[in-house]
């Protein structure tokens, strides 16, 4: 069932252009947004997004999208904190629960807490028959297909795609997006499977870089804006399957502490598309290089032309319109974790101490 791949994770990473295409056909048929009628963001004061692990990082990316594209205040929290905090919830709000399995105990408990408090509960799930899907007012399938590897990959990018469609719908409902801008965003989203195929072409290069990464004790991931949560996701992926200690930081936080960790032995992976914050991220990257940190810069052609000097290595991604880069850059982040784990000889699909679905608190 691994279709010739050595691990399910490799197969699931490679499947992303196809499953993303399926999700696009569902949510953007004929290039138009297609979301359930009841999902009307017009009169909301707030959104709350709750999840665990990788699904939480998808929510963290989406927060940038809902705020920027729809002007909608957006709270995010990990379910294990949210449920016991028992936060006040505005009635004019939606609570959105993101879960691959739809069975994560803390996320389900958070949903049950919200039922009577908010206007609508919304599930973004891979398993449409799951508890979370059944108990929410509206359930949106991510259409990733069965995900076997404990490390979530294709579910993450499909979660992002569904959340992107929701953020655009929110922007339209609230009159925050001009029609021409909407068209541009939809065109970019529809181009993603093709761009992902190009990104997957970096596999061999990444396999070579992973030989060095596999020797590291600690690895840092840096990103800004919506690339910050992707840095967190890259670090989570790497630590769960390669057992190397990894942390993600917002680039601008570096000088508030983590820069003390930098020396020749610490690879630093910088996720930096050539966007409006690029120069700021590059100056953080230069601070790392000045302390002999080994930088792997992942950027597009423009970014690499401007900032490759002094880096240990670079990876070239196709360029992609600003807010959507995390969907594309998930691919090299996943491949880096995968090949580093393979180089270390760990059990990639069944990493120690982890379960695919966490149904205990
Ligand atoms: O099934 P869920 O999406 O609710 O699972 C949430 C987390 O347990 C999950 O994303 C976990 O962090 C993965 N192992 C990450 O790769």
| Measured distance CA(88)–CA(108) in Å, rounded | 18
Measured in whole angstroms, the distance separating CA 313 from the mean position of its chain's CA atoms is: 23
Nearest CA to ligand 1 atom 9: 53
| Helix (H) or strand (E) segment spanning residue 269 | strand 267-271
pLDDT of 333? 98
Encode pLDDT of 30-45 as tens digits: 889 999 989 999 999 9
What pLDDT is stored for residue 349 in this prediction? 85
Give the largest Cα separation in the chain, rounded: 56
Q: What is the position in ligand 1's atom list of the atom closest to the CA of 151?
A: 16
CA–chain centroid gap for 168, Å, is 17
Burial pattern 81-110, b for ≥16 Cβ within 10 A else e, equals: ebbeeeeebeeebbbbbbbbbbbbbbbbbb
Q: Does residue 170 surpass a pLDDT of 90? A: yes
Candidates 334, 61, 94; CA nearest to 223 is 61
DSSP-based three-state secondary structure for 139: strand
Q: How far is the CA of 52 from the centre of ligand 1 (A)?
A: 6
Residues 129-158 have pLDDT tens digits of 999 999 999 999 999 999 998 899 999 999
Cα–Cα distance, 233 to 98 (Å, whole number)? 15
Percent of the chain beyond pLDDT 90?
93
Instruction: Output the CA 351–ligand 1 centroid distance in Å.
Output: 13
Which of 7, 9, 13, 52 is the pocket-test mutation for ligand 1 (most atoms within 8 Å of CB)?
52
Which two three-digit tokens encode residue 341? 């784990």
Is pLDDT above 90 for 346?
A: yes
Q: Known catalytic residue: 356?
A: yes
CA 336 to chain centre: 15
Ligand 1, atom 4: nearest CA belongs to which residue?
99
Ligand 1 first shell, C-beta below 6 A: 52-55, 99-101, 104, 107, 150-152, 240, 354, 357-358
Q: Name which residue leads in pLDDT, 244 or 360.
A: 244
Tokens 């992303």 found at: 16
Please choose, from the candidates 241, 316, 252, the residue with its C-alpha nearest in 3D space to the C-alpha of residue 282: 252
Considering only CA atoms, which residue is closest to atom 11 of ligand 1? 53
């Amino acid at each position: 069932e691994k279709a010739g791949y050595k691990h399910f994770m490799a197969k699931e990473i490679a499947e992303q252009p196809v499953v993303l295409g399926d999700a696009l056909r569902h949510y953007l048929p004929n290039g138009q947004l297609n979301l359930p009628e009841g999902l009307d963001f017009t009169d909301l004061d707030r959104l709350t997004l709750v999840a665990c692990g990788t699904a939480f990082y998808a929510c963290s990316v989406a927060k940038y999208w809902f705020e920027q594209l729809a002007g909608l205040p957006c709270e995010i929290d990990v379910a294990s904190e949210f449920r016991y905090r028992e936060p006040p919830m505005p009635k004019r709000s939606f609570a959105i629960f993101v879960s691959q399995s739809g069975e994560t105990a803390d996320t389900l408990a958070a949903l049950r807490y919200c039922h009577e408090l908010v206007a609508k509960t919304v599930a973004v799930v891979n398993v449409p028959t799951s508890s979370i899907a059944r108990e929410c007012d509206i359930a949106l399938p991510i259409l990733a297909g069965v995900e076997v590897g404990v490390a979530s990959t294709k579910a993450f990018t499909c979660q992002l795609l569904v959340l992107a469609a929701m953020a655009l719908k929110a922007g339209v409902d609230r009159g925050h997006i001009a029609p021409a801008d909407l068209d541009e965003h939809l065109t970019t989203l529809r181009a993603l499977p093709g761009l992902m195929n190009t990104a997957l072409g970096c596999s061999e290069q990444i396999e070579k870089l992973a030989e060095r990464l596999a020797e590291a004790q600690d690895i840092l991931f840096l990103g800004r804006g919506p690339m910050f949560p992707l840095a967190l996701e890259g670090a989570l992926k790497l630590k769960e399957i390669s057992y190397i200690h990894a942390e993600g930081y917002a680039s601008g936080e570096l000088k508030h502490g983590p820069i003390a960790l930098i020396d020749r032995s610490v690879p630093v992976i910088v996720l930096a598309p050539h966007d409006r914050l690029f120069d700021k991220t590059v100056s953080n990257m230069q601070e790392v290089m000045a302390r002999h940190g080994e930088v792997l810069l992942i950027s597009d052609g423009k970014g690499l032309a401007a900032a490759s000097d002094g880096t240990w290595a670079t990876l070239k991604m196709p360029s992609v319109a600003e807010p959507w880069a995390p969907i594309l850059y998930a691919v090299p982040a996943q491949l880096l974790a995968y090949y580093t784990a393979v180089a270390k000889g760990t059990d990639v699909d069944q990493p120690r101490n982890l379960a695919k679905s966490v149904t205990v608190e």
